[in-house]
Amino acid sequence: MITAIVLITADVDRIPEVAHFIADLAAATEIYTVAGDADLIAMVRVRRHEDLADTIADRLNKVTGVTGTNTHIAFRTYSRHDLEAAFS
């Protein structure tokens, strides 16, 4: 499983519509509205790198109201849940 954290900038008056449209993409597992340099953050999970291109470049970037994206690929996941399981 490949996880991408996608920071999304959007037209301010279209943020809710953009978030709902992206949430309907199968690979987008969570969408967050945020403060800071981005308007939204999407967690995208796919099986193959090619699926990232399909989801981000071919669909997400073409959503009306999206003005830019910045994609980060996760290498490892660390969470309290994972650490508790490792030490129990």
pLDDT at 78: 81
Q: Are 67 and 82 in contact (CB under 8 A)?
A: no
Whether the CB-CB separation of 32 and 41 falls below 8 Å is answered with yes
Q: What is the pTM of this model?
A: 0.86
Q: What are phi and psi of 54, to 5 degrees?
A: -60, -45
| Pairwise CA distance, residues 47 & 36, whole Å | 30
Tens-place pLDDT, residues 10-22: 999 999 999 999 9
Which amino acid is present at 50? E
pLDDT per position as a tens digit, 61-88: 999 999 999 999 999 888 776 555 655 5
pLDDT at 82: 57
